[in-house]
Structures are given as structure tokens and as C-alpha cells.
Chains A and B, each alone.
Chain A
Amino acid sequence: MTYGAPGTDGTDLAIRARRLEVAYQQHTVWRDASFEVKRGEFVAVIGPNGAGKTTLFRLLLGLQRPVAGSLTVFGQAPRRGNARIGYVPQRHAVDNDTFVAAEALVHLGVCGNRWGPGLMGRSHREAARRALGAVNAIDLGPKSLGALSGGELQRVFLAEALVGDPEMLLLDEPLSNLDLRRTRELVEVIHGLVRARGVTILLVAHDINPLIDCLDKVIYVANGHVASGTPEAVLTSTSLSDLYGVPVEVLHDSRGNIVIVGGEDPHEAAVA
């Protein structure tokens, strides 16, 4: 990868990282990461637990600062409260006794950071409806958050992130805890957003297989390093062996599913 001269961040670049290094409580999480994401790309962020996938999101959101290297989001330094980014954090189930309508949460996605005495206006309500519509969740609006299933919740969270018309979505493990059918439905909704709105999407996932058909790029975080490129380039035995520093085998089954063997602890191997 070559180093771009300053100022060459073209308008087509959503993210540019150069020799990025991050640490968490004095420990280096990963270092020397250089990658780019173009506008409108659908990117999966893959890697074992604790490899620093969420850390990458925290950097992009301006919640954490890199130790070294440079990072730009749409040509600018990351900053907290960037309205161009929508964020769906990794959430463990909402409590069953959260008696708040889903549409109220989506409302807050558009006006939750506004101060002053105003109430939720008509324009916000319409924006919330549009966002729910964009993820096929109009019917979920009046339901209370605690009564929604995992897949329904993820669609509501997606609407909450989408309501401010962001240019980039950071989705942290939206597919975990979903069964195969719901996973496929949600991937379709997300992929639809990429195609219809040109939103740049980074999605942290444990399992690459449900996504592989719609991905433009993979960012693979493991062993303190980051590799990126097309799925065909990154998800190979050679490339992952280099990344992990130990022999790793990438296997394909007859249906195109990928299994990565050797890179992770045995419990993770089957679903990597």
C-alpha cells in the first residue's frame, strides 16, 4: 500500500487510515494499520473476540484517540457527535420491562441531542417514520422495545441510526443472536441501504458467510494487525497466515461457505 500525499483524500474516500496504532489501557490493540474505505462500500470487519474491532469504531466515532498514525473520516479528523455517522453499538438484549415505544427511540435518534424546551415536532416524527419505513419496520413503531425480538430490535436500532440521514453506518455485531432466516433478512435490509442510498457501511460480524455475496471489502483484525481488501484477496490461506503469523487454512464448502481453521481458539474456528 502506498502512502498518499497530504490532500489526496479524494471525495470518494470515506475512511483513510495510515499506519494507525491504538492502545487500550497501555496495551497495544493493533498497530501499523493502513486501509481505505470508499464511499458507498459495504465493508465487513471480521476477527476474533477482543481483537479490536469495536476499538476501530470508537476511533471513527472520536470516542478514542489513536496512539500513532493518521485517520480521516470523509477527509476530516474523527470527532464525537459527527452527524455524518450513524452508530449501532453492540447491545445485549433490551430488558423486557422497557415500556418505551420503538418510534420514541427513533425520534430521539433525530432530536435526542437537541437542547431547549421544544418537543418532538412533526418533521421529526415524519423523519422517524421514514427511517422505520426504510428498514421495513413501520409496524414496529408503536410496539414497546421490551416486546421486540432480536431481529426486530436490530431493525429499530438501524432506523435510529439512519434517521439523521448519515453517510456512514457503523454496525457492531447486528447479526449476533439472530437465527439464519433473520440474519438473511437483516443483511438484505442493510445491503438495500447501501444500494439505494449509497451509505457506506462498516459491519462487525463474527460470521462472514451471510454477508459474503454483498461485501465490497473485508477488514480483518487479528493478532495485533489489520488486513484489508476484497474478500477474495483477504480470505485466503496465505493472507490470513501472514496476518496471524501461524499457518491458517481457509476452506470453502460446496455452497461457497468459508471456514477458517487454525487462526483462532478452537471454539471460534468453526464459525470464523
Chain B
Amino acid sequence: MTFSWNVVTDLRLLWQIGFMRNAFEAGTITAVVAGIMGYLVVLRRSAFATHALGHGGFSGAAGAVLFGVTPVYGLLVATMGGGVGMALLGRRASNRDIEIGTILAFMLGLGLVFLSLYNGYATEAYSILFGEILGISQAGVVLTLEAAAVVLAVLALIHRPLLFSSLDPDVAEAKGLPMMALGLIFMLLLAVAISFAVQIIGVLLIFALMVTPAASAVRLSKRPLFAVAISVVIALLATWVGLFMSWACSVPGSGCNAPYPASFFIVSIAFGTYVVVRLLDWAFGRWTHPSSAEVPNPPGPVREVPDSTADPR
């Protein structure tokens, strides 16, 4: 098997390799879910919670390895447990970073113990930390698909209340929306999405799939539906191109012939997209508002004392 500069030939070749096909299928499903959930993460400002849940998942996966269970079940238990804990702390995400950090540190401690007690190979830990997209089995793909179907179905049912409660919690509460339940469901969906994304990209790099694509997308469209679609497209492109490049680098004929991990390319593509979007944003801002020195929302309360010399009403 060799690399050629004809991408179509390459893809046909690649599709014949079982583990590559699994990787593409699982990666595609995960990218769609991560792109959608990522938009909500950005809107709710839950990026730190996402990061912490991913890391917390590490302890679950390490525990599962120790007890001889499939890692993804350990991941699910740990992320869902952590997610419920964070949701119960309250809905004001901005005030929760200390609590989230506390939970995160404890969970990482647990992970360390599990890892120390496990006398097997360090590769297990390595693949949890950085992802092992090429190690996904056919059964793993099916499980990923089932989990994604559940997440997307729940999202379809609650997307409007979830959006509303994320964007305008006070009004949503007054409108009678169950804020605690919505927060809880969101964290559970996030936990499931993270557990499967960890298999692709690893706990340390979870941001690249769960946050970065959406962070780029919100700057490209102000309409929620479009922004979600763009976020999914970026996550998909990063996954596909990342996988392809990782494969291309590993086979003779590409010129590098080195085992570059797919995670590296996925993270780099997501990051590159974000940098380009920020640069475009900056250039566009300079172009439309050449002398934009004013701040739209001045920080801090500004109170006007009634001016008795003003015109009578």
C-alpha cells in the first residue's frame, strides 16, 4: 500500500482498511455531535466544564481499564457523574469555576490511583489522554452511533428551551422553563458527547472538537442554526482531513513516512481555522469600522445625574 497524490485513489485504498473505515465512521458521528454540542457550550460559557468533564473522564477510563471493563463505559460513568455534580452546583456558570476545578482535581486524583494500581502498559493511559481513533472496533462504531442518536433525539426535543435558557436564563425562568432540569439534561448530553469524543481525540485535546469549531462558527454567523451548521462542518473537516493526513503520513510514498497521530492533525486544523477566522474578523472589523475605538458596552455602571440645564421635555 503506497500513497499517491491522487486523493480519490487514496480514499478508495483507505476505505479497504477495516480500522480506517471504523475511524472515519466513528469520527464522522462524533464530529457531528461535538459540533452541535460545542455551539451550546460556547453559548452557555461552559468551556471550562467541558474541559473538566473530559479530564474527569480520564479517571473513569483508567478505572475501567483497572477493572477490565471497556474504557468507554468508565468514561460515561465518570463524565455523567461529574456533569450531574456540576449541574447541581447551580446555573450561573461564571461563578462555578472554583467548584468545577475542585471536582476536576479530585477526579484526576482518582485517575492517578487507578493508573498506579493498574500494572499493565502505559499505552492504555496514553490512548485515553490523546485519543486512539485508529483503535475503534466495529462494535465501537455501533455504540457511538447509538449514543449519538440518543443525544441528537433529545436535542431535537429540547433545542428551543435549551437555547432560550442558555441565552437569557432570567426570562426563560420567568416563562416557566425548568432551569435545573434543562441544566442537568445539558450536562448529561455533554457528558455522553465528551465520552465518545475522547475516543477520537483524547481527554487532553477535547477542546479541539468540543469547543474550537463552535468558537470559530459563532464568529461566522449570528444565526444560531447557521452557526451550528458551520460548527459541524469545521469539526467534520478537521476530523476527515486529520485522519487522512495521519494515514498518508504513515504509508510509503508520501515523503514523511512517520506515525503522526490523527489527533495532532485534528487539533491543528481546528486551531488553524480558529486563527484564520479571528484574523478575518479583525481585518473585517478594521475595514467596516476604520476608527472603531469605542466600546459597545461600557464596563461598569454609569449613572446619569439629572441635568437641570437640559431642555424641558
Contacts and interface: CB of A to CB of B under 8 A. Distances in A.
A265 interface: no
A142 B222 CA distance: 8
Nearest to B307: A180
A191 to B, nearest CB: 11
Contacts of B177: 81, 112-113
B157 interface: yes
A204 to B, nearest CB: 14
Nearest to A104: B224
Contact of A148 (B167, B296, B302): B296
Contacts of B160: 108, 111-115, 118, 120
Given A96-B295, A112-B175, A253 B308 contact: yes
B98 interface: no
B52 to A, nearest CB: 21
A180 B304 contact: yes
Interface residues of B, number: 43
A192 B253 CA distance: 74
A88 B174 CA distance: 10
Q: Is the interface of A mostly helix, strand, loop or mixed?
A: loop
Contacts of A195: none
Contact of B171 (A100, A109, A143): A109
Interface stretch (A14-22, A206-214, A217-225): A206-214
A178 interface: yes
Interface in A36-73: 61, 63
7 contacts: A96-B296, A99-B222, A108-B163, A112-B165, A113-B161, A183-B304, A209-B306
Interface of A: 61, 63, 79-82, 85, 87-89, 91-94, 96, 99-101, 104-105, 108-109, 111-120, 142-144, 146-150, 153, 160-161, 176-180, 183-184, 206-207, 209-210, 213, 253, 255-257, 270-271
Interface of B: 43, 156-161, 163-165, 167-168, 170-177, 218-219, 222-225, 227, 295-299, 301-308, 310, 312-313
